[in-house]
Amino acid sequence: MTARRGRPGLRLAGLLAVLTGAVWLTGCAAGDRTPPAEVSDGNPAMGRLAIERFGCGTCHAIPGVRGADGTVGPPLDHMGRRGYIAGHLPNNGPNLIRWIQHPQQVDPGNAMPDQGVGDIDARDIAAYLFTLD
């Protein structure tokens, strides 16, 4: 009996296709991606957890965050594509971090309360929100 041998080039191409697909799929979760340039020192995965911990989903609908289906504030989908934050600040890392930490300083009397978000949590939350494009 002779052993059947497939074409090595086709086997290698198939294996590479499977591996490429597996690598691509592991990077699909927003919290697992490299932090966006806007907040390069933020950790999106930790930001998603901080969003849950601070209860942001009570007021906002936020993709990928468990229980974040609030309707008081605007939905936070597509934050990476938006031009402005709260209609006042150009949407970039430093401004989003500032807004997350001190919304009442930025726009006194708006509906978003100061939640006491620290520097690290604010960077992480902003990094997560910028993955939502």
Which has the closest alpha carbon to 52: 64, 34, 40?
64
Q: For residue range 2-14, list pLDDT tens digits in order.
A: 555 555 554 544 4
User: Which CATH number applies to 31-130?
Assistant: 1.10.760.10
Which pLDDT value is given to residue 47? 97
What is the dihedral sign for C-alpha 121, 50, 29, 76?
negative
CA pair distance 110, 116, nearest whole angstrom: 16
Q: For residue range 21-44, list pLDDT tens digits in order.
A: 333 333 344 444 455 578 989 999
Count helices and strands (H / E) in the chain. Answer: 5, 2
Which pLDDT value is given to residue 49? 97
Question: Going by C-beta distance under 8 Å and a sequence separation of 6 or more, which residues neighbour residue 31?
Answer: 44, 45, 47, 48, 64, 128, 131
